[in-house]
A and B are shown apart, each in its own frame.
Chain A
Amino acid sequence: MKDHDADVTLLLEDTHPCAGGELSGWVQQHLQGLPELRFSVVYLGTRQPAGEALRSRYALPENVVHLDCHYLLKPAPPGRPRSCPGDRQAFAQSEALHDYLRQPEGPLPDGFLREFFAGFGSRAAITHGDFLFSEAAWECIRDRYQRHCTEPSFADYFQTVRAMHAPLFELARIAARLPHSRLYHALSTGYAGLLGAMLHHRHGHPLVLTEHGAGARERRLDPAAADGRVAEWMRHGGHAGAETGYLRRMWVRYFEGLGRLAYGAAGTIVASHEEQRQRQARDGADPRRTRIIPAGVDLRRFQPLRRQRPAEVPKVLGLLGRVAPGKDVKTFIRAMRAVCEKLPAAEGWIVGPADEERAYARECQELVAALGLAGRVRFLGPRKVDEVLPQLGLLVLTSIGEALPLVLLQGFASGLPAVATDVGPCRELLGGGAPADRALGRAGALVPVADPEAVARAALALLLDPLSWRNAQEAATQRVLRYYDHRDGIQRYRGIYEKALEQE
């Protein structure tokens, strides 16, 4: 084994170690929790921000033997435009794959993908230059436009096709150069999942796929939602305005296709909650290969916070998260208006960076002033979660979409009940999934999306009634202790890795 050969290669998109977010923290925990394995980490970013170099935000643990960081959109394509015929046979193969992804019926012929991805991006089949400049590519694009596209502008269609495919060739280059690894583990579908599928088909090593975030289907949501990645890629493709219509459907179908390729290649597909597992099956994952491993929290870190809680429940409602439309901070502020009428001593804290969506943050501050909540609702900016949690009386989550609400679990572990919207896994987290879990009781209250009245009612019910607050706290603590200890998750991943490596 060479120095940089790894047991497991983690494939990460827009997260650890170069970007922040909850998933990044999870990855760091994961790496630290499996010190006996040698990891190689591959980071895939979208486009390099001007004047910024790629750098790791985390001190990587010692078992990370290799780190590769890439941006998928390069400012210029390779080489100068040059007329060439292109390999017609390879393009026919690519056509067959496109047709299959458009209407997946039955499995692809045995070895088709292995052969396809072995040559993809190299001179043996389709190079990036062939895709951009060859006559065969031109005929393919024309043909597919004539057969399927209802978009009036051919130029827009053409540029969309180019924008979609450019990252694929970058991925092929990355796949060809990665150091040897016995196992690949992609932390999302999309480009990370596709890279995993490419590596699996090229080298034959097993692929594990974990989805914490939204799947391809949820990517249809607008930029305000939890995962606006389609919107982001569309923005990069110059389609900021194309919210509806054929091009948008094309992007959605494209990510669904990428997801399908990843599901097909993965031997084990991990969801973080039941609803997600069902969604994966609908999107083309084989249900026999899906597992649920809930995302967990580090109990050793959060449980001691409980002792720091004051004897009386503080009348402080906290929203922990970025000030962004996806978190629907405005609903929280409106709810605070209603809470303060019944409970004049109540305070609302918004803890998280406000500099990512400046316009939205300004609107929120104006709303606070307009509702006469100045001094009652405070924007605290980014703070250490460990310091904030013991000072809160109730955790509030008003998001219109959540993929991995680790903050709920952190709150639970520190003895803090919550009011959360019914999105993603929140229902399971608050009320329990399996019958034994449900028997633990409710760790707070579930409310509809964008309903300030309901948030206020639920919050008051908990804050004004110490008994139900204590019950919710107890349920929260028990639930997180039993089902969401991240060491259990690590243990189960260890099992998955071992089994996959054995089969290999």
Chain B
Amino acid sequence: MKTTAPRGRPAPLRRPDRERHGIAGLVLAGYLFNLGLWADKLLYFFWAWREPGAGLRERVQTALGHGLPMLLACLAMVPGVAVLLSYLEAEFARRHAAFYGAVRAGTLEAIDEAGRALGASVRERLQEIGRIQGITMVLLLLGGPGVLELLHAPPRVRLLFYIDAAAASLGVLLLAALQLLGCLEQRALALRLGLLLLAANTALTPTARSLLPAVPGLGCAAAMALCSGLALRLLLRRLRHLEYETFMLRRQAPRLFPWRPA
């Protein structure tokens, strides 16, 4: 797969003149992520609209039948996203600063130590997000049927809700991986992963629909599983080779110490 080749990295050491560009990249990656998450729903809306011989009411109902479960499932992302945001703000920011501080002026030992600490903390926190999303899924499976009963949801919509909830939980891990890759100077990679999600969801949804028409939302879940798995792999690899890539694969500026004032 093309996105796995680590090419065209931006400079890993943040510099003020690169900051704005970096933020734009992250924003774009966020949009792509959301677009990728909703691509299959948009496809379903489109198909519902084109349904021959259906009235407006039926069309809207079919569309809502696909949109509402995802909207509800997105609520399932809240705990994981909360953990992610608080981690990025506090512990990750601190460890990130410690690592790049060591890169600037520390001994190799200090750099190794800071890199190891950063990697360990990221892995730990990803596991925590995974655990929290797992618990959320269990709660949804236990409490969901009652709520859906109350809403008089048809069985197909209930099934879709569970699948969407699973996809959204995987989505939290993907979101976390994209954010962390962005912070580790891999914004181009994060952007490509966002694009991949969009492409995979758009391609897998019609395929799944024609293969298993009885089970809705499978294309989205498969695309999410694929992308989050890949993103986590790339993130963990980046963390393993953090020092090598930070020092050796930085695009060289004419100045040899770009982080020092001229």
Contacts and interface: CB of A to CB of B under 8 A. Distances in A.
A153 B260 CA distance: 13
B8 A153 contact: no
Interface string B235-254: 00000010011011111101
B9 A238 contact: no
Contacts of B107: 152-154
B249 A133 contact: yes
A80 B7 CA distance: 8
A82 B254 contact: no
Nearest to B253: A76
A138 B255 CA distance: 20
A81 interface: yes
B108 A238 contact: no
Nearest to B105: A153
Nearest to B110: A154
A289 to B, nearest CB: 37
A138 B106 CA distance: 17
Contacts of B18: none
Nearest to B250: A81
B104 A155 contact: yes
Chain A CB count within 10 A is highest, among B244, B245, B255, for B244
A82 B104 contact: no
B111 A154 contact: yes
A83 interface: yes
Which interface class (under 10, 10 to 19, 20 to 34, 35 or more) fits B?
20 to 34
Contacts of A237: 256
Interface in B210-251: 241, 244-245, 247-251
Interface stretch (A6-14, A156-164, A423-431): A156-164
Nearest to B111: A154
Contacts of A83: 6, 241, 245, 248-249
Interface in A149-188: 152-156, 158-159, 162-163
Contacts of B244: 135, 138
- Of B241, B247, B250, the most chain A CB neighbours within 10 A belong to B247
B103 interface: yes
Contacts of A138: 244, 247-248
A155 B249 contact: no
Contact of A81 (B9, B103, B255, B257): B9
Contacts of A103: none
Interface in B75-109: 103-108
B247 A80 contact: no
Q: Is the interface of B mostly helix, strand, loop or mixed?
A: loop
A145 B257 contact: no
Most buried by B among A138, A152, A155: A155
Given A80-B7, A155-B104, A132 B256 contact: no
Nearest to A141: B247
Contacts of A132: 248, 252
A81 B256 contact: no
A386 to B, nearest CB: 43
A152 to B, nearest CB: 6
A24 B11 CA distance: 43
A183 B91 CA distance: 65
Interface string B10-25: 0000000000000000
A227 B42 CA distance: 73
Interface residues of A, number: 27
B108 A137 contact: no
Contact of B252 (A77, A142, A152, A155): A77
Given A76-B252, A81-B250, A155-B105, A238 B8 contact: no
B248 A146 contact: no
A172 to B, nearest CB: 19
Nearest to B254: A75
Contacts of A153: 104-107
Contacts of B9: 81
Contacts of B250: 81
Interface in A71-94: 75-77, 80-83
B7 A76 contact: no
Contacts of A133: 248-249
B87 to A, nearest CB: 27
A155 B244 CA distance: 12
Contacts of B108: 142, 145-146, 154
A258 to B, nearest CB: 20
Contacts of A81: 9, 248-252
A180 B107 CA distance: 47
A238 B256 contact: yes
Interface string A350-362: 0000000000000
Given A142-B108, A238-B260, 18 more contacts: A77-B252, A80-B8, A80-B251, A81-B249, A83-B245, A83-B248, A133-B249, A138-B248, A146-B108, A152-B107, A153-B105, A153-B106, A155-B105, A155-B257, A156-B257, A158-B247, A238-B256, A238-B257
Give me the 4 closest cross-chain CB pairs, A-B, nearest first.
A81-B249, A154-B108, A238-B256, A238-B257
13 contacts: A77-B252, A81-B249, A82-B7, A82-B249, A83-B249, A133-B249, A134-B248, A135-B248, A138-B247, A142-B108, A153-B105, A153-B107, A154-B106
Interface of B: 6-9, 103-108, 111, 241, 244-245, 247-252, 254-257, 260
